[in-house]
Structure 1
Amino acid sequence: MMKVLFVCLGNICRSPTAEAVLRQKLEQQSIHSVEVDSAGTAGYHIGNPPDERAIAAGKAKGYALSSLSARQLNVEDFNEFDLILAMDEANLRDIHHIQPKGSLATVAMASSFSEQSFINVADPYYGDAQGFYDVIQQCESIALGIIEHYKQDASR
């Protein structure tokens, strides 16, 4: 069993989108031994659903986000998850600040699993609807990379 946690700032736009996209891609490939979750480095939106624009963009592209709710990254996550993936460099710094010494999780940029050339999954919160569709496209690329990584590890 591999466990993946996506992390952004508030857990209402990018990380829940990445969670929903990876879950669906795993289901489409009948991979049931990967668990996926998402969290935020800040506790601004704990218990809230994703941003309505993220839900709408996800629905338009066939991804279900409406049942998700925001939570905050905690120290237990570092021993619960195998991969903790930051959506941008600021999130990565915050994750490393929270990460306890000797934790088991591998912390990396989510984009490190993508074949596309981007570093940060841009935060669409203050932009227009297109930004939410751009996030989905980036998350689809990341999800396919994670699945390939999983398949390579499983074949060893």
Structure 2
Amino acid sequence: MNNIQEIKDYVVEITEGNSTKEEKLQQICDYLASKISYYDWVGFYFRNGDKEELKLAQFNGEPTEHTIIPFGKGICGQVAVSNKNFVVQDVSEQDNYISCGWKVKSEIVIPIFVDGKNIGQIDIDSHTVNPFTEADEELLEFVCKKVSAFV
């Protein structure tokens, strides 16, 4: 992975800027996808009102038909229930996986908390098997903490 501190510093610049919430989320998606070669799809999902489902917000990558994900379904839906990071180094080994395309080989999902409540998540798909490290988790937890300040 590139210089994590450099990436964190730029994420701070984005989150502290004067853009709208939607623009900030899109800038983060675009930036992470451009800086980390194995981040092939970067997106945010948020709880859809009072419903037990997630709704796709901003993303960078190929369009997905999975714009609504029920809690408990797939990796994202499981994180909405567990409130824990979920790193899948090989999606073919997961029973409860929603395929976003044949190219996707691995996925990492990190929840976003506001006042201790899971309100959404960042979702990263990679076309590479086993790309994610603790550094990815650390970086994405940092991103989620910064996002929680303005969503």
Q: State TM-score, norm by structure 2.
A: 0.30
Structure with bigger strand share is 2
Q: Greater share of helix residues, 1 or 2? A: 1
Q: When the two structures are superposed, what TM-score results if normalisation uses the length of structure 1? A: 0.30
